[in-house]
A = this chain, B = another copy of it.
């Protein structure tokens, strides 16, 4: 349900083709809301059918065409409404913590592997988000630059401030996950040292 607002957020700074949108998406909003192209193109069509955006067919070479979308008044209103409406939070569904809660049922080796993978996963995200923070500070992101160019000077500080603030939050979250998993590794060490019997032969269920 948020995809359309992510798309509107990008289109609000100026018209883009589906293709460009999709490329820019991956480099900006995509860092907080992933979406593959196979979802973006149909969603744009749906939004057009609902009057939130309008697409103009443009010629490209002899036979090629591309569809350039821009936000309509209704689209802008929908975006503003979304901004003012309470956010719908997804129910918790966290595979990593689900597994962590039952790690005693497995082996020390598997537990370590799990935590190592968790660290790797979040270090990847961390790198993305830290990179984005740097690009924000340097005004080095193409969409952000375009947005600032279209923003009256007194409003620019705010625009940058919220982007920075958002990514700071994400960076902290990633660090938290990494810290937690590191402590998980230490916990496995401790438990294994305390009890040589944790071979994890398997069944200790009923």
Contact = CB atoms under 8 A, between A and B. Distances in A.
Specify which of A107, A117, A150, A162 lies most central, judged by the most chain B CB atoms within 10 Å of its CB: A162
A173 interface: yes
A158 B99 contact: no
A13 B205 contact: yes
A64 interface: no
Contacts of A99: 5, 82-83, 87
Interface string A80-108: 10111011111111111111111111110
Interface residues of A, number: 84
Contacts of A96: 87, 89
A54 B63 CA distance: 61
B150 A205 contact: yes
Contact of A2 (B93, B114, B121): B93
Nearest to A183: B165
A33 B106 contact: no
Contacts of A155: 104, 195, 197-198, 204
Contacts of A166: 97, 100-101
A190 to B, nearest CB: 8
Given A80-B106, A95-B87, A106-B84, A101 B206 contact: no
Given A12-B205, A80-B202, 15 more contacts: A5-B99, A13-B206, A32-B98, A32-B101, A33-B92, A33-B93, A71-B205, A71-B206, A80-B105, A94-B170, A97-B166, A100-B169, A102-B162, A169-B180, A173-B173
Q: What 5 pairs between A and B have smallest CB-CB spacing?
A: A12-B205, A34-B91, A83-B106, A104-B158, A101-B166
18 contacts: A9-B101, A9-B105, A13-B205, A32-B97, A76-B202, A80-B202, A83-B106, A86-B117, A94-B170, A97-B170, A100-B166, A102-B162, A152-B204, A155-B195, A157-B194, A158-B195, A165-B183, A172-B176
